[in-house]
């Protein structure tokens, strides 16, 4: 048997290959400005465990995922490596840590560059979405295995959305210019799943600043499809999200009996 933990798989399309190997890239290099002062967001704790470790577990708990690339805060790569070694994570999963960049987009690109050959499906998952259920992860992988080049978990909106003319002075009233049909809008989450070659091409081609990876694939003119998202896959962005995340975790622990 080969000693190479990342053996090359033959170059062929992902579609129709139920065993295509899957890696997850976790951008975790953000500061968490909207959460308020403190350590980088991914290193702040939830139920006593760093948010990043919850996100890593969420990926590693999927039997499809055999490699996780963590994109660490630029000065925090050694700390992240220590954290990964200190927490019980599935043995069948390999972990790679790389320092991140100035933006989420740059961090994902750095994570992609660290991917060894042999992984033809790539998930990109925010460290800031620590509680995504494994069923959502698996649904994304399955849709890519079924042939979609890009897949996003998505939920309908609960609020009515207005398009506005941004105020010249922050805090001033903003004129509303339109009310988009809510039934056609979705809030998208992560993990977003991709045929690896498509995601690499998107990151090499698109130079505009974007807030998610799927929009880069859209810019290539390729199809992006949705699978059902999950309300517990919400992003921890502001302080109230942390309160909700603690409550969800406490409920899970109660249900699991520990």
Distance, in Å, from the CA atom of 207 to the CA atom of 184, rounded to the nearest integer, reads 27
Strand partners, 176: 164
Binding string, residues 183-212; x marks residues near ligand LQXTBERG by CB under 6 A: -----xxx--------------------xx
> For residues 140-179, which are near ligand CTP according to CB under 6 A?
none
* Segment interacting with ligand CTP, rule: CB under 6 A, options 24-32, 62-70, 146-154, 193-201: 24-32
Cβ atoms within 10 Å, residue 152: 25
Cβ closest to ligand LQXTBERG, residue 183 vs residue 211: 211
Report in angstroms how near the CB of residue 63 gets to ligand LQXTBERG at its nearest: 24
Name the maximum alpha-carbon separation found in the chain. Answer: 67
Report in angstroms how near the CB of residue 36 gets to ligand CTP at its nearest: 9
For the chain, the first-to-last Cα distance in angstroms comes to: 40
Distance, in Å, from the CA atom of 221 to the CA atom of 199, rounded to the nearest integer, reads 13
Tokens for 35? 């959460």
Residue 47: CB partners within 8 Å, gap ≥ 6?
54, 246, 249, 250, 253
Q: How many CA atoms lie within 13 A of 7 on its CB side?
A: 6
CB 23 within 8 A of CB 66: yes
Q: Is 128 in the site for ligand CTP (CB under 6 A)?
A: yes
**Chosen from ligand CTP, ligand LQXTBERG, none, partner binding at 188 (C-beta under 5 to 8 Å by type):** ligand LQXTBERG
Cβ closest to ligand CTP, residue 146 vs residue 246: 246
Binding string, residues 184-223; x marks residues near ligand CTP by CB under 6 A: ----------------------------------------
Element at 83 (helix H, strand E) = helix 77-86
Q: Is 104 in the site for ligand LQXTBERG (CB under 6 A)?
A: yes
Helix/strand/coil percentages in the chain, nearest 5: 35, 20, 45
Report in angstroms how near the CB of residue 115 gets to ligand LQXTBERG at its nearest: 19
> For residues 95-124, which are near ligand CTP according to CB under 6 A?
100-104, 107
Report in angstroms how near the CB of residue 81 gets to ligand CTP at its nearest: 16
Tokens for 21? 């190997």
- Contact residues: ligand CTP, CB under 6 A: 27-34, 41-42, 71, 100-104, 107, 126-128, 235, 237
Contact residues toward ligand LQXTBERG (CB under 6 A) are 104, 126, 188-190, 211-212, 235, 237
């Amino acid at each position: 048997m080969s000693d190479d933990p990342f053996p090359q798989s033959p170059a062929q399309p992902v579609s129709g290959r139920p065993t295509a190997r899957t890696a997850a890239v976790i951008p975790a290099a953000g500061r968490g400005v909207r959460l308020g002062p403190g350590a980088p967001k991914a290193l702040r704790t939830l139920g006593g465990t760093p948010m990043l470790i919850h996100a890593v577990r969420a990926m590693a708990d999927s039997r499809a995922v055999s490699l996780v690339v963590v994109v660490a805060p630029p000065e925090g790569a050694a700390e992240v490596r220590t954290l990964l070694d200190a927490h019980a994570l599935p043995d069948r999963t390999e972990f790679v840590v790389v320092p991140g960049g100035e933006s989420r987009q740059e961090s994902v690109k750095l994570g992609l560059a660290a991917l060894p050959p042999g992984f033809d499906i790539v998930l990109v998952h925010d460290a800031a979405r620590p509680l995504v259920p494994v069923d959502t992860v698996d649904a994304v992988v399955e849709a890519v295995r079924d042939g979609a080049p890009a897949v996003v978990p998505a939920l309908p909106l609960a609020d009515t959305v207005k398009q506005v003319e941004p105020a010249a002075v922050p805090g001033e009233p903003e004129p509303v210019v339109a009310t988009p049909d809510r039934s056609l809008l979705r809030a998208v989450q992560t993990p977003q799943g991709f045929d690896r070659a498509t995601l690499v091409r998107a990151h090499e081609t698109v130079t505009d600043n974007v807030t998610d990876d799927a929009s880069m694939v859209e810019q290539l003119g390729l199809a992006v499809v949705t699978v059902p998202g999950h309300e517990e896959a919400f992003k921890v962005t502001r302080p109230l999200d942390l309160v909700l995340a603690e409550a969800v975790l406490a409920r899970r622990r109660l249900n699991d009996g520990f």
